Amino acid sequence: MTKEITFKRHRRLRSSNAMRSLVRENHLRTDDFIYPMFVIEGEKVKNEIPSMSGVYQLSLDLLLDEVREVYALGIKAIMFFGVITAKDEIGTGAFIDDGIIQSATRLVKEALPDLLIVADTCLCEYTSHGHCGVIHDHDVANDESLEILAKTAVSQAKAGADIIAPSNMMDGFVVYIRAALDEAGFTNIPIMSYAVKYSSAFYGPFRDAADSAPQFGDRKTYQMDPANRLDALREAESDIEEGADFIMVKPALSYLDIVRDVRNNCNVPVVAYNVSGEYSMVKAAAQNGWIDERAIVMEMLTSMKRAGADIILTYFAKDVAKWLREEQ
């Protein structure tokens, strides 16, 4: 060729595994993960959740074995969700001192005091109607629900929870919970707000696992419209102003643009919740031999880190911790 052609050689930095590792921008670590767990009433109960292969409801007497395995893998934080049978209109099981989450928290903190316990602070698992607050005239009563949520947060902190994670999406829930925690002497307990929680179809398997599906209507009057982007920034901003120490985006995979927006606009740690539907889709495809589960999971979680998540709440945490050890 008579004319000189010039172009950039980007492949130089992809020439070997060692080179690619050297210049890699984002990494997954076990320190990044929170592992969600379902605690159920009864004894010697280990129920695999049909729609979430490899995830179980565990009774208190079997819980410690599972938690010790998680801890041994280097995972430093877990989140509890309760599964109970005796439910009522206001979700009393959420805030009583001997509630399932309070009991699980005391049990684990006594055995493994260094393990961080994140308490999901919501009412849907404990209400007879399956909504995240008190119901009046077939609607969730926002302000009345705040009092119960604040009481729930205090009971969880008294039991030993290290982080309070309210997921109810009531207006004002952060400031109510912050005030209640401070008044009870828990000024150093941080709040991980589910600030950006969309009304999503990806939650389906979780509602099976936690027996928390609404008995009427849906949650669209308090969870966010999936079509909205600016709404996420308004929610995150107000929660930070009200005292949130972490901001969560839920779901994660279809909302990576929102994770990046929140990261660019907030100066607190950002949490991405890799939710049940995202987990179950990968598991089902892998079981059918359609995908390489390990490769897909690692790529998917890395995309959440790349989008700006500091922390990932994921049912894959144990699997990934094992894979990371193998790589090392």
**So what's the pLDDT on residue 216?**
47
- Catalytic amino acids? 197, 250
- pLDDT tens-digit readout, 256-270: 999 999 999 999 999
216 neighbors 138 (Cβ within 8 angstroms)? yes
ω into 251 cis (within 30 of 0): yes
Report whether pLDDT(218) > 80.
no
Q: pLDDT by residue (tens digit) across 295-306?
A: 999 999 999 999
Q: Is 266 among the annotated ligand-binding positions?
A: no
Reported pTM: 0.92
Number of H helices, E strands in the chain: 11, 12
Query: How far is 51 from 186, CA to CA, in rounded Å?
Result: 37
Looking at the DSSP bridge assignments, the partners of residue 82 are: 39
**pLDDT given for residue 220 in this prediction:** 65
Work out whether the CA dihedral 212, 217, 218, 224 comes out positive or negative: negative
- Dihedral through CA 148, CA 152, CA 155, CA 157, nearest 10? -130
More confident residue, 242 or 4: 242
Confidence band of 224 (pLDDT split at 50, 70, 90): confident
Binned at pLDDT 50, 70 and 90, residue 325 comes out as: very high
Does residue 194 have a known ligand-binding role? no
The average confidence (pLDDT) of the chain is 90
Among 91-105, 210-224, 243-257, the minimum mean pLDDT is found in: 210-224
Residue indicated by tokens 């998917």: 300
**Would you state the torsion angle of the CA atoms of residues 225, 226, 230, 234, taken in this order, to the nearest 10 degrees?**
50
What is the arithmetic mean of pLDDT over 197-220?
72
Q: At what angle do helices 142-159 and 173-183 cross, to 10 degrees?
A: 40
pLDDT given at position 45: 95
pLDDT at 219 over 90: no
Do the annotations mark residue 279 as ligand-binding? no
The pLDDT score that the predictor gives to residue 287 is 96
pLDDT digits (tens, 9 = 90+) for 43-71: 999 999 999 999 999 999 999 999 999 99
* Cβ-contact 55, 49 below 8 angstroms: yes
* C-alpha to C-alpha distances, 200 to 1, 61, 197, 271, nearest whole angstrom: 57, 34, 8, 17
Residue carrying structure tokens 């400031």: 175
Is 178 annotated as a binding-site member? Answer: no
Q: How does residue 328 score in pLDDT terms, banded at 50, 70 and 90?
A: confident
108-161 confidence digits (pLDDT tens):
999 999 999 999 988 777 776 656 667 767 777 778 888 989 999 999 999 999
Domain-wise residue ranges, the chain: 27-327
325 has binding-site annotation: no
Does the domain at residues 27-327 carry the CATH identifier 3.30.830.10? no
Strands 311-314 and 33-40: parallel
Per-residue pLDDT at 118 = 97
Does pLDDT of 207 surpass 80?
no
Pair of tokens at residue 50: 């049909």
Q: What DSSP state is assigned to residue 202? A: G
**Residue 124 assigned ligand-binding role:** yes
CB 28 within 8 A of CB 320: yes
What is the distance between the alpha carbons of residues 206 and 279, in angstroms, rounded to a whole number? 10
> Beta-strand (E) ranges in the chain?
33-40, 46-48, 56-59, 77-83, 116-121, 135-136, 139-140, 163-166, 192-197, 246-250, 270-274, 311-314
